Amino acid sequence: MERGRALRPSGDLGVSDITIYHNPNCGTSRNVLAMIRASGAEPEVIEYLKTPPGRDRLVELIAATGLPVRDVLRRKGTPYDELGLDDPKWTDDQLIDFMVEHPILMNRPFVVTPLGTVLARPSEKVLEVLPDAEKVGTFTKEDGEVVHAVGGKRQ
């Protein structure tokens, strides 16, 4: 799998080399945070619904993942349908504007590390950019699914 490109973590350098844009109400986001901590790291946690990234940072995050803008949009539990975001008339810039105005439209969690940036869906995708992913070992997600991190990769 291809990793996202490296992007400097936000905020004060030295706080952490890892940043997670987190939603504590999301099981996937909680699993990712737990995997990061299981690797021995304490990330900078940004609850993006309380402190959303600015437009420039959001553009950087999306570009760093290598994903198309539409792949970053979240539909469930958001104003996606009422805004008509399925319509191909919306440009990437317009879709980003919608995410800035309605941060709930951002899928999550984004994780930024010295090894790259990913939208960690599924949660084990974080292993691709976690510097000490092998320390995660065997991890049981909230739903009971077991992930084996061997050599920093899911097995």
Report in angstroms the alpha-carbon separations of 43 from 53, 68, 92, 137: 16, 26, 29, 18
Catalytic annotation on 96? no
The tens digit of pLDDT for each residue in 70-95 reads: 999 999 999 999 999 999 999 999 99
Q: Looking at 18, 20, 26, 129, which residue is catalytic? A: 26
Provide the CA 76 distance to its chain's centre, in angstroms: 17
CATH of residue 114's domain is 3.40.30.10
Please say whether the beta carbons of 152 and 47 come within 8 A: no
Please say whether the beta carbons of 26 and 48 come within 8 A: no
**Residue 1 forms part of a structural domain:** no
**Domain span at 133:** 19-154
**Residue 73 forms part of a structural domain:** yes
pLDDT of residue 11: 43
The domain total for the chain is 1
* pTM listed for this prediction: 0.87
**Residue 7 forms part of a structural domain:** no
